[in-house]
């Protein structure tokens, strides 16, 4: 039986209409600063960190990273997507036990060959319930469908896990230019505007400094981000900040805001020919 994980937040976090969704994402990508045009023509990043709020809040910040990913439209065939659990707690990293994920833009097949490589890892479990209502992964899918052509998905909802456990999963799936890692995370939650700016700036400096010590108060996806930092260090990747804001800058009031940032991780030039 072909099992499909149906969208849970279409019409809420992003438009439920295929036409409106496609147009909105195209607009967000078109609005990415013109000075990224040259960068977009270069090799795509190996990994990105992007926010997962409703598109009116964080869509533009996410788009800045996805615009860079578009350089891999023809070459990227596998997306390792990690995001934190918000609704159903789980020990480890949860696969959905489905054959495909659906959005208003169509279905994305899961990468069964890649998933099979995780069979021996004790921290990887299968839980359809964890994925059923989880938005942190889902909101990334329409962006991926818009900037990549033909890819398969490995969706992992990250619960109670260590950074080392996440890094081990990434190492197994790391691959080459055909594989990209997408980590879904917002930053601080529900602080006053000025406080959020201060906390989020410190968090950004930690990520740029490759410090795998983020707490969940700094970033709800702190665990997968920490795991990515460990793996990125091993593979000589360096992060670059593309965008930083919060809901008070976009579509919310400033008394209780949520922070958003986007990063790309790319290979350092000195290692590019040796990797």
Angle at which helix 18-30 crosses helix 55-69, to 10 degrees, equals: 70
pTM of the model: 0.96
Alpha carbons 127 and 7: distance in angstroms, whole number: 16
**Total residue count of the chain as it appears in this document:** 275
Domains defined along the chain, listed by start: 4-269 (3.40.830.10)
Q: From residue 187, give the alpha-carbon distance in Å to each of 49, 61, 246.
A: 11, 12, 9
Within 70-120, residue ranges assigned H as helices are 112-116
* pLDDT averaged per 10 residues in sequence order, the chain, 275 residues: 96 98 98 67 92 98 98 98 98 98 98 97 98 98 98 98 98 98 98 98 98 98 98 98 98 96 88 48
Q: Over the stretch 120-156, which tens digit does the pLDDT of each residue have?
A: 999 999 999 999 999 999 999 999 999 999 999 999 9
Helical (H) or strand (E) element with 5: strand 4-5
Q: Over the stretch 76-96, which tens digit does the pLDDT of each residue have?
A: 999 999 999 999 999 999 999
Tokens of 133: 């209502």
Tokens of 50: 């992007």
């Amino acid at each position: 039986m072909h099992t499909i994980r149906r969208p849970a937040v279409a019409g809420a976090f992003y438009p439920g209409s295929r036409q409106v969704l496609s147009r909105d994402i195209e607009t967000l990508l078109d609005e990415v600063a013109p000075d990224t045009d040259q960068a977009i023509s270069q090799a795509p990043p190996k990994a990105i960190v992007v926010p997962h709020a409703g598109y009116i809040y964080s869509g533009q910040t996410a788009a800045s990273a996805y615009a860079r990913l578009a350089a891999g439209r023809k070459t990227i065939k596998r997306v390792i997507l990690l995001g934190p659990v918000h609704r159903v707690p789980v020990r480890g990293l949860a696969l959905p036990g489905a054959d495909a994920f659906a959005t208003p833009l169509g279905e994305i097949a899961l990468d069964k060959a890649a998933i099979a490589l995780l069979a021996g890892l004790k921290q990887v479990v299968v839980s359809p319930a964890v994925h059923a209502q989880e938005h942190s992964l889902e909101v990334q899918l329409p962006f991926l469908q818009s900037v990549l052509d033909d890819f398969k998905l490995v969706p992992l909802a990250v619960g109670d896990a260590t950074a080392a456990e996440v890094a081990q999963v990434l190492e197994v799936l790391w691959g080459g230019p055909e594989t990209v890692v997408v980590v879904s995370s917002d930053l601080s939650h529900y602080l006053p505007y000025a406080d959020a700016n201060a906390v989020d700036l410190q968090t950004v400096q930690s990520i740029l400094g490759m410090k795998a010590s983020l707490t969940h108060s700094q970033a709800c996806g702190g665990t997968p981000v920490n795991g990515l930092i460990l793996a990125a260090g091993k593979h000589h990747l360096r992060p670059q900040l593309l965008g930083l804001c919060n809901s008070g800058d976009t579509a919310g009031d400033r008394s209780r805001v949520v922070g958003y940032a986007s990063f790309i991780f790319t290979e350092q030039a000195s290692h590019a020919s040796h990797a």
